[in-house]
Amino acid sequence: MRYSKADRLVIIGSGITGLMTAINARLSDLDVYLLEKGKSPSGSSTRIAGVLHSGARFAGWDDELAKVCFEEWKWWISVLEKEEKKIGGYFLKTKAESDQYLESWLNSLKNIGIPFTEVENPYIGGDIKKESIDRFYFLPEIQINARKLLNKLLGLAINLGVIYLPSSIIEKVEHTEGGYRITVRNKDTLKLEGIPVISSGIDIPKVAEMFGINVTSKVYQGSHILLNTDLTDLLEFVHKPGTYDLLIPSDFGTFITPTLVPYNGLTISEEELAGLNQVLKNLFEIEPEVIGYMIAGRISISSPVSTLKGDYLAYIQDAILAWSNNYACGRRLAYAIADMLGIKKALTPAHI
Ligand SMILES: Cc1cc2nc3c(=O)[nH]c(=O)nc-3n(C[C@H](O)[C@H](O)[C@H](O)COP(=O)(O)OP(=O)(O)OC[C@H]3O[C@@H](n4cnc5c(N)ncnc54)[C@H](O)[C@@H]3O)c2cc1C
């Protein structure tokens, strides 16, 4: 089901999904209220590792998602041309891993069009025990300053006339014909009427419940392991068990992302830590005491049915629920929501 006409959106959550949706809707002349429970955007979008995914990490096991990521990557590249640093990244194959996956991964990259180059001696700033690694491939992944970009988008949204309401608490929700009346407390108490877009990240189930909508979800924690060293040239190491590892040099922090582990109360289990320590020791000769933690939440919603692969988008009981699986996909969601609302896909790189 789709809305035939939309006049006003009440967007709940000002992460990348909410912001991109707000900007696009304003460009189509809708009235937009953007509610945020924090003083400013405070969800996963502000805490990410800052990798603009080329899709390479999904190639070979989920080509459809890899394709989507690559499309979004190209869009953001055209936006970030001058501002952000393109540093590239390395994908590495350890000797312990099979040649079969390498072959299917390379074929997928070629089919999708993601550029890559095999390199003999990658510069990663750290000490790599090369005897444990077979091959290195250079990839166009990009390190972005996610918070800086988010603030810029927020400024743009406000300039376009989005009414931003930070420090907002939703007190009451009433279902009206084709929309909702939402009572919000921030400095004052406001009654807002319009079509809700619930883009509250890991809090989607909690907010949806206030609208009488039941959403089942799994929450994962991103187990970013921060290396507590004073290396100036740093690494990001993304490990997908049984497949490949990706190294992304960065100049502001060393991140090691072994994998997403099931949410377990904001700690990493002994077993996972032991596995990670082994990987670090084997590859970089890094000792466990240099490891620290950085934690944020990530949601995975399996029902009700999403209309998008990878991201989550659903229209339930006159409300739109949206969550982006990665930062770059905020634009894709804004376009998909425009389709639902029957409005233009107005947002172009020139606006940003
Ligand atoms: C550790 C980690 C690392 C990641 N690294 C990367 C990466 O390198 N590259 C990448 O592309 N993606 C990365 N991701 C994924 C990416 O961050 C998310 O997919 C994306 O930011 C989700 O954006 P969102 O707008 O849907 O949700 P969020 O960014 O979580 O935004 C939700 C907003 O809603 C607000 N909110 C919640 N409840 C309410 C309420 N009741 N009322 C009002 N407001 C509310 C929150 O305060 C928040 O500001 C990472 C995720 C994690 C967890």
Q: What's the N-to-C CA distance of the chain in angstroms?
A: 31
pLDDT of residue 179: 83
pTM, two decimal places = 0.85
246, 264 Cβ separation under 8 angstroms: no
d(CA 255, CA 276): 13
Could you give the CA distance from residue 87 to residue 142 in angstroms, rounded to a whole number?
Answer: 6
Ligand 1: which residue has its CA nearest to atom 18?
Answer: 326
Residue 51 Cβ < 6 Å to ligand 1:
yes
Kind of pairing between the strands at 245-247 and 8-12: unpaired
Residue 172 has pLDDT above 80, yes or no: yes
The pLDDT value recorded for residue 238 is 38
**Has residue 246 got a pLDDT over 90?**
no
Distance between Cα 335 and ligand 1 center (Å)? 18
CA dihedral 48, 49, 52, 57 (to 10 degrees): -110
Beta carbons within 10 angstroms of residue 211's beta carbon: 22
From ligand 1's centre to the CA of 35, what distance in Å?
Answer: 15
Residue among 249, 210, 218 at smallest CA distance from 91: 249
What atom in ligand 1 is closest to the CA of residue 324? Answer: 26
Residue 237 banded pLDDT, cuts 50, 70, 90: very low
Count of C-beta atoms within a 10 Å radius of residue 189:
11
Nearest CA to ligand 1 atom 42: 37
164-173, 236-245, 314-323: segment of lowest average pLDDT:
236-245
Å from CA of 93 to ligand 1 middle:
30
The whole-angstrom separation of Cα 264 and Cα 73 is 31
Domains along the chain with CATH numbers: 8-45+147-215+304-351 (3.50.50.60), 70-141+218-299 (3.30.9)
Ligand 1 pocket, residue 203 CB under 6 Å? yes
Residue 24 in 3-state DSSP? Answer: helix
User: Counting atoms of ligand 1 from 1, which one is nearest the CA of 223?
Assistant: 1
Q: What is the pLDDT of residues 11-46, one digit of tens each?
A: 999 999 999 999 999 999 999 999 999 999 988 888
For ligand 1, mutation pick of 248, 300, 326 (most atoms within 8 Å of CB): 326
Q: pLDDT tens digits, residue range 331-351?
A: 999 999 999 999 999 999 888
Helix or strand run (H / E) with residue 227 = strand 216-227
In the prediction, which pLDDT does 130 show?
A: 62
Where do runs of H (alpha helix) occur along the chain? Answer: 16-27, 63-80, 99-112, 146-159, 204-210, 270-284, 330-341
Using CA positions, which residue lies closest to atom 26 of ligand 1? Answer: 323
